[in-house]
């Protein structure tokens, strides 16, 4: 009987050791994968500078942080975002985000789309550039339905037209 008890205790201890080693090994593998992803991302960001410049974009800032505020239950809460680049092409300003990996560059994924929309909303640029840091492609992402930006030229033209009509009518009435 004593022998069975010792075998059971040995099996229990052995099982616990196997579980512990498996967990540690799994954590080490995850840490290596994460380190590799971060390294790939940083390398792609460094290479993206020359890539964007070759495509005609002027790099204005790197790792651009911007604060914005939310209201939570009536209280103002400060938040911030950090985009990889603020770039300009011609007269148009863009936020550029460099991504690596198929899932990361998939702009239809909710997490990617939400991040790009947040950048678009916070930075108030013409659009957001999603830079694929593996295949070296640039996708310009626009959110036309979310933009309530005022077209100043259109306002100026319509104001001028109404001012001219008002002037003509005032002259016609006084005659």
- Would you kindly state where each structural domain of the chain is located, as residue ranges? 2-155
CB contact set of 71 (below 8 Å; sequence gap of 6+): 77
* Residue 146 pLDDT: 46
Query: Does the pTM exceed 0.85?
Result: no
Question: DSSP letter at 57?
Answer: P
Phi, psi torsion values for 99, nearest 5 degrees = -130, 150
* Residue 74 pLDDT: 92
* Residue 119 pLDDT: 93
Quick one: fold of 2-155? Answer: Trna Endonuclease; Chain: A, domain 1 (3.40.1350)
* Residue 40 pLDDT: 65
Residues of the chain falling short of pLDDT 50: 146-147
* SS3 category, 108: coil
How high is the mean pLDDT of the chain? 83
């Amino acid at each position: 009987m004593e022998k069975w008890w010792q075998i059971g205790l040995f099996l229990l201890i052995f099982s616990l050791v196997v579980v512990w080693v498996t967990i540690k090994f799994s954590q080490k593998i995850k840490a290596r994968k994460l380190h590799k992803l971060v390294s790939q991302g940083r390398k792609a960001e460094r290479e993206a500078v020359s890539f964007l410049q070759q495509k005609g974009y002027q790099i204005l800032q790197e790792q651009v942080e911007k604060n914005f505020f939310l209201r939570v239950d009536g209280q103002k809460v400060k938040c911030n975002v950090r985009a990889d680049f603020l770039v300009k092409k011609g007269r148009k300003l863009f936020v550029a985000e460099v991504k690596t990996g198929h899932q990361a560059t998939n702009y239809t994924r909710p997490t990617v789309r939400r991040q790009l929309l947040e950048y678009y909303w916070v930075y108030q640029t013409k659009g957001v550039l999603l830079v694929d840091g593996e295949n070296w492609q640039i996708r310009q992402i626009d959110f036309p339905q979310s933009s309530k930006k005022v077209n100043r030229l259109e306002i100026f033209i319509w104001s001028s037209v109404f001012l001219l009509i008002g002037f003509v009518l005032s002259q016609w009435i006084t005659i």
